[in-house]
Amino acid sequence: MRMTTDSPMTDEAVRDAGVEVKPVAGHIGAEISGVDLAADLDDTVVAAIRSAVLRWKVVFFRGQRLDHAGHVAFARRFGETVLLPRRGKASPPDFPEIETTADRLELGGRFGMEHDEWLRRRRHTLLRGWHCDHGARVDPPAATILRAETVPPYGGDTTWSNLAAAYAGLSAPLRQFVDGLWAEHRLGVGYQPRPGDDAYVRHLLDRQVASLHPLVRVHPETGERILYVNGYYVEQIAGLSRPESAAILQMLLEQAVRPEYTVRFRWEPGSVAFWDNRATMHLAPGDTAHLDHPRIMHRVMLAGDVPVGVDGRASEPITGTAPGRW
């Protein structure tokens, strides 16, 4: 997160800061109470939240009254915010740090297809929707802070997976094997084109982003080894044939999304989720397209560093990406 690298706080120190951290699943996720994110937070409270994010990978706040300015101010307590050069029409023009994701507005009418068709073509397998934010970049964001403005009365949950726990759950021989592997992460992997000319394919080719990342990255703050896979960006494991790569990636993705490594969050207006994008992947909901209810969310991302593998080698850009340049 380009956050400080102080040691995580002890549970007692977190309690002394007046912050209550209540885990909600065995390996990932905690709900934090006793904090008003719109207030001028004390440094000890900020440190307690940061410690909880590092330990539980994603933390949740409920009943918050953040506006756009408050959202950005909160994010800046934890690192450098990302300024996106291109955002959707729903994003607030006066806050370049904020990207608004309004499901029915995201791709509706663009590239000759409605959003539902784009979603079907992008998520045509059970694992395709799982991703870390901007994973094709050479320096993916360190963290994301997502705020719910309007949510359906039911449906629309988000699910996260702890990729450190997934790595630790592999057998020792398999951990040793994947420690030395690298994989190409590319924007638009797995999208199924429309018959004939596909404007979205042309859009992807014009704005292609790809990087070579270690299949196991070392977390820059905790030192944990992270199974750095996801269903949306990973193209192929370098040095393996396509059949070998496909079989191994399928196995690793299935490992990464085992229920015991995941947590699912029921959004409410005013809910905020803050997750470590270096140690998790997440699945946006796919159960709201048939509901006549809007789902409007606002996100701010924190700038990240270039991943480093077990051998100390750093990720390499392939095309369309450079550290710190969005």
* In a domain? residue 22: no
* In a domain? residue 219: yes
Residue with tokens 């959707």: 88
* In a domain? residue 50: no
Candidate list 27, 134, 185, 299, residue with the active-site label: 299
Token digits of residue 190? 């797995």
Tell me the HSE value of 173 on the side-chain side, using a 13 A CA sphere.
0
Candidate list 103, 133, 139, 276, residue with the active-site label: 133
Q: Which of the four pLDDT bands, split at 50, 70 and 90, describes residue 302?
A: very high
pLDDT of residue 4: 45
Above 90 in pLDDT, residue 283? yes
3-state secondary structure of 119: helix
213 carries an active-site annotation: no
* In a domain? residue 130: yes
* Domain membership of residue 170 as a residue range: 101-319
Candidate list 134, 137, 282, 295, residue with the active-site label: 282
Candidate list 55, 131, 186, 217, residue with the active-site label: 131
* pLDDT one-digit tens code per residue, 32-57: 999 999 999 999 999 999 999 999 99
The rounded distance, in Å, linking the Cα atoms of 183 and 304 is 19
* In a domain? residue 152: yes
Residue 251: give its domain's CATH number. 3.60.130.10
The rounded distance, in Å, linking the Cα atoms of 215 and 238 is 10
* pLDDT one-digit tens code per residue, 135-182: 999 999 999 999 999 999 999 999 999 999 999 999 999 999 999 999
16 carries an active-site annotation: no
What is the number of residues in the chain?
326
Pick from 305, 315, 251: nearest CA to 276: 305
Q: Compare 149 and 103 and report the one with higher pLDDT.
A: 149
Mean pLDDT, residues 83-99 taken together:
91
CB 236 within 8 A of CB 242: yes
* In a domain? residue 213: yes
* pLDDT one-digit tens code per residue, 53-78: 999 999 999 999 999 999 999 999 99
* In a domain? residue 5: no
User: For the residues of 130-199, what is the DSSP string, one character each?
Assistant: -B-TTTTSSS--SEEEEEEEE--SS---EEEEEHHHHHHTS-HHHHHHHTT-EEEEETTTT--PPSS--H
* In a domain? residue 297: yes
The rounded distance, in Å, linking the Cα atoms of 16 and 45 is 9
Token digits of residue 105? 């507005």
131 carries an active-site annotation: yes
Structural domains in the chain (count): 1
Measure Cα distances from 308 to 151, 166, 242, 304, 311 in Å: 37, 18, 24, 12, 8
Above 70 in pLDDT, residue 1? no
